[in-house]
A and B are shown apart, each in its own frame.
Chain A
Amino acid sequence: MANSVHTLWNLLSAGKVGKLTSLCSIILIVFLGQNNLRGEHDSTQITNLKATFIVHTLKYVRWHDEDFPSSQSHMEMLVVGKDEHNIASRLSYIINSSELRLKNLPIKVRNVNSWKEARELFGKGSKKIALLLDSELKSWEKEKYPDISGLLIVGESQKFLRKGLVMTFRKENNRLKLGVNLRKAKAMNLEISSKLLSLNRVIFQEN
């Protein structure tokens, strides 16, 4: 430590330009180092982005008619797990303000506390979309994906990568990205528009 301070002092004693260069070098070291301190803290902004991504993405997903009984008056999106960042309200707000409809049906957002609770709801009525929050990671396994045609489940973060979901968010280089598992989408009888898949800066394909 003392050596470091001494070295730093020597660097700073080397004239004005020298000082600035030294300072910049130190900053560069800080910047280029690994961001080891980064923890699980999630900002409000990323939650806002996730909600916006979901609403944009839904416009590029096509459900088959047979997966939508004509008797339904609306579609329901389940937010499953402990909603610390209130993404359910955010989704609800932007779905309403964008007047988004799927198969000409309005969408309602509902928060359920656990996968167990959600599992009982799937298959009833028009619950065809779910966002699986990180709190449900421990209780989630690939095999738990319900075999209900047209069911779209999105994972909240990269922790759900390779966990068998149709879509999963990932933060990469301080930007949000959405992974799409085409094989799983096909298996769930969902069609993903090629326009969405061509957005290579936003979308990555998950195998």
Chain B
Amino acid sequence: MPLKLSIKVDRSVILVMCIKNLTIISQRIKRAIIGFWVILFFSFLSSFQALADELSSFEKRELSRLLEMDWNELANQPVSGVLGYDQEHWRNPASIAVIRPDDVFDGGHLQLVDSFRGVGGMYVTRGNAYDDFVTMRNFSGSATEKFLVLVDGREVLQPMGGTITWGTEEVPLALLDRAEIIRGPGASIWGTNAVSGVINVTTKPAESTQGNSIRLALESSGTFLGEFVHGGKIRDGEYYRIWVRDQEYAESDLLSGMPARDDGYGRKVGFRYDKELGMHLDLTVAGSYSTRRFEHVLDLSSRLLYPTDPNSTSPLPNSLIPPGFMGLPSVSAGEFPFIPISVATGLGLPAVPGIGDYPTWPNASGIVQPSGVPLIVNYEDLPQDAGHLRTRLSGVTGNDFEWSIDAFAEKYETNLGHVGHKWERDEYNLEFRGNRPLGERNHLAFGLGYRYMEFDVTETTTAPWRFPTINLQTGLPSSDIPILQYNGPNTFKRFSAFVQNTLEINEDLFISFGNKVEEGDLSGTTIQPGIRASYAATKNNLLWAAYSRAHRQASLVERYTEVSYARIWNPNPFHPLLNPTGQQWINQSFEADPTLDDEVMDAYEIGWRSSPSEKFLWELSLFYYDTKDAVFSGPPTYEAHDYTSVGGELTFNYIPNSFWKLQGSYSYSKGEKEGVRQTDFPESMASLASVIHAKDDLKLVQNLYFTGDRILPSSYNELSIGDYLRLDLGMIWQVGEGWRIGLFGQDLLDPDHPENMYTDLDVEPTRVKRRFLLTISTEF
């Protein structure tokens, strides 16, 4: 029996089918358009290829790089390696900038950190004479660095505050081999805190710094820098060096014209000893000691508060205090129940405390801030002493297994006198790393690490705060309530392991993938995988892409430190039952958040590196960061929010002719916290550097930096920083054998501008002024 099918189709079904067909057609059109663009794109790339010589421009650049090496460097060049180790390799699937000693000297930079201004995506600002802030790719415009910095393999991020004391880590320029700035997470190799990027600073071996070298620099501000390095040979294969560095900082002016009291010094001594223990076995022992002495300020203007609505007190529950309670001037009247006591006294409000109620408080400076609040400040000493010792044993075994064992011991001691927070940190690290080729097309690396830290924290109640205040936790008056109270553990351990493999699929396609696992007291167990791939689309064009997951530990201050930044006067009459805090000061504290998780970032990056000729290289890098639980510091509270950052950098190197080199970058990045656009990081930045060899012995240098506008966040003193263009011009003479003299004019386009400060701690930013610099270096 034949099967009879009857199909009933109504109009709506036909309509749906038509829509589906249309959708399919439109998708096909889209695909065709995409395909067209892809073909056009590769045709475009191929046109470069057709024009190119037999060797690609990348290869020519690589050969030129090798040609500049001396025998020692050549002897240490691995035949094969893991992408992620050899940052300068043109196939590296990451956005990388390398700074060499000449870049620092020719740029007229006193410190290495100054030279980061010319690196795309890096935002470098001057806080005061001795403090610089560095952030990367619109992630945390505050003082907390969310990237990892290593100096000769040693992590230099301060776990207490999550910051880097750049001045403590400086070394004489003669020692510097290079600083690699790797934008984007590198956690699968480097580990926790390699979030928005990694800065890897390496110094030269002792053999490369033989003899004596001196570098002197004098700035028109009065800042002085002196460096001396002496290196010697003990016997064949055994070398040493000793060095000393002294930077004397001149005092800056604050934006209001007041002296910033930021003069002081940073002095450092160090040594290195290298010995060849065998044909393929090396020993390095190195160390340094650094001491810095400065003063730092705490703005006290809005820290003693008077309630404008007396009914809102007695007692003062935390819930009644809005998060920005110190921000009276920026909050409309009627919404905010507190004003600074100095203002209340001036207005003659009822029941205002007399000076006998807070006798240790300093007098007003005589300056009234634009907000109308009299300025009250307290300066205290800020000493920092740090020393470390490191040992490295490294070798290569007969089966191409390259390994190293590093041991670090470090002691760091500081006293943030302005907030009465002193701590000592003893740290010990042991790391083992190895890598070797595996088969024809794999190169495998792995590492193991153990870290132990011990803290000794001492809190001091600074002089202004030593007057009776009700401690809400005890209900009793006390004259000994410190601003910061550390309540965390004193010891921390971390164990880590990573594996990374670079797989050469074919001559054009490389994939590097790996994972780092950490088990620690601060973060628990974390898994930080990463995969990167680079594809040589044509001889002169490389495309790369990466996905990484990275963690950042919340700092100890963020997690464990209770903050008491303000005291509130209760003007109501005392009553033992109804108002036991009447006519007394009440401490207002903010608990730390020990539940703050690690920040976890998923990062997606793509890049296009192109070298149309050996004289021209450009690169476009795009990124999208998606971060969960990003900690936003800024006293008094630390809060975790989800954060996204998107942007990119366009960089180029161009050598128009034999005597002129150009280098430039443009970067754009946009950050959003919980979907709200952030303004604490300049979205656009650009730089252009030009070096002209006018004569054999004369170089003319020009550096131009553009920084977009931003807003310095604050709970009570928000400050808008306008965009600024910085122009530096310099001349460098090569005088005779080994002498170099540089004369620079810096920030020539405007007399001064503000850049940064510790918000809610500092009174105001300093003026970064137009200045002139004389540098002299010699080797003998």
Contact = CB atoms under 8 A, between A and B. Distances in A.
Contacts of B69: 52
Most interface-central of B54, B67, B446, B448 (chain A CB within 10 A)? B67
A12 interface: no
B43 interface: no
B67 A98 contact: yes
A199 B402 contact: no
A186 interface: no
A103 to B, nearest CB: 21
A175 B62 contact: no
A32 interface: yes
A16 B79 contact: no
A43 B74 CA distance: 16
A30 interface: yes
A48 B78 CA distance: 12
Interface string B396-419: 111111100000000000000000
A174 B402 contact: yes
Contact of B401 (A31, A44, A56, A201): A31
A176 B55 CA distance: 22
Interface in B374-414: 396-402
A102 interface: no
Interface string B514-541: 0001010000010000000000000000
Interface stretch (B220-228, B432-440, B766-774): B432-440
A94 B67 contact: yes
A49 B66 contact: yes
Q: How large is the interface on A (under 10, 10 to 19, 20 to 34, 35 or more residues)?
A: 35 or more
B512 to A, nearest CB: 15
Contacts of B507: 44
Interface stretch (A17-25, A65-73, A125-133): A17-25
Interface in A5-44: 16-17, 20, 23-24, 27, 30-35, 37-39, 41, 43-44
Nearest to A91: B63
A44 to B, nearest CB: 7
B66 A48 contact: yes
A44 B59 contact: yes
A41 B67 contact: no
A56 B66 CA distance: 10
A98 B63 CA distance: 11
Contacts of B525: 16
Interface in B72-101: 72, 74-81
Contacts of A52: 63, 66-67, 69, 74
Contacts of B276: 201
Contacts of B55: 86, 89-90, 93
Contacts of A24: 446, 448, 497
Nearest to B518: A20
A122 B418 CA distance: 81
B519 to A, nearest CB: 6
B444 interface: yes
Interface string A161-184: 000000000010111100000000
A56 B79 contact: no
A53 interface: yes
Given A23-B497, A89-B55, A174 B75 contact: no
Top 9 nearest A-B pairs (CB, nearest first) are A173-B396, A37-B439, A41-B440, A174-B400, A52-B66, A201-B75, A202-B75, A46-B79, A39-B440
A43 B506 CA distance: 11
B266 to A, nearest CB: 37
A86 B279 CA distance: 31
Contact of B437 (A17, A53, A174): A174
A196 to B, nearest CB: 9
Contact of A173 (B62, B72, B77, B402): B402
Nearest to B497: A20
B361 interface: no
Most interface-central of A32, A35, A202 (chain B CB within 10 A)? A35
Contacts of B30: none
Interface of B: 53-55, 59-60, 62-64, 66-67, 69, 71-72, 74-81, 276, 279-280, 396-402, 434, 436-441, 444, 446, 448, 495, 497, 499, 504, 507, 517, 519, 525
A105 interface: no
Given A46-B79, A48-B62, A16 B401 contact: no
Given A33-B399, A37-B440, A43-B80, 16 more contacts: A16-B525, A30-B444, A31-B434, A32-B397, A43-B504, A48-B62, A48-B63, A51-B63, A55-B67, A174-B402, A174-B437, A175-B77, A200-B279, A201-B276, A202-B71, A202-B75
B402 A16 contact: no
A3 interface: no
A97 interface: yes
Contacts, number: 126
B75 A20 contact: no
A202 B72 CA distance: 8
B348 to A, nearest CB: 65
A93 B79 contact: no
B80 A174 contact: yes
A104 interface: no
Nearest to A34: B399
Given A27-B446, A48-B62, A173-B400, A16 B519 contact: yes
Contacts of A45: 77-81
Given A35-B437, A48-B62, A86-B54, A53 B80 contact: no
A27 B504 CA distance: 20
A151 B27 CA distance: 68
B528 to A, nearest CB: 14
B67 A176 contact: no
B444 A31 contact: yes
A135 to B, nearest CB: 19
Contacts of B78: 45, 174-175
A53 to B, nearest CB: 7
A173 B67 contact: no
A16 to B, nearest CB: 6
Contacts of B280: 173
A173 B517 CA distance: 29
A5 to B, nearest CB: 19
Nearest to B446: A27
A23 B402 CA distance: 19
A98 B436 CA distance: 32
Contacts of B75: 175, 199, 201-202
Contacts of A90: 55, 59, 63
A24 B433 CA distance: 11
A20 B79 contact: no
B400 A35 contact: yes
20 contacts: A20-B497, A24-B497, A30-B444, A31-B444, A37-B439, A39-B439, A43-B80, A44-B507, A48-B59, A49-B74, A52-B63, A56-B71, A86-B54, A89-B53, A89-B55, A90-B59, A93-B63, A174-B79, A174-B436, A200-B279
Nearest to A95: B67
Contacts of A53: 74
Given A45-B79, A49-B74, A35 B438 contact: yes
Contacts of B396: 173-175
Contact of B60 (A35, A38, A49, A93): A93
Most interface-central of B63, B81, B397, B440 (chain A CB within 10 A)? B63
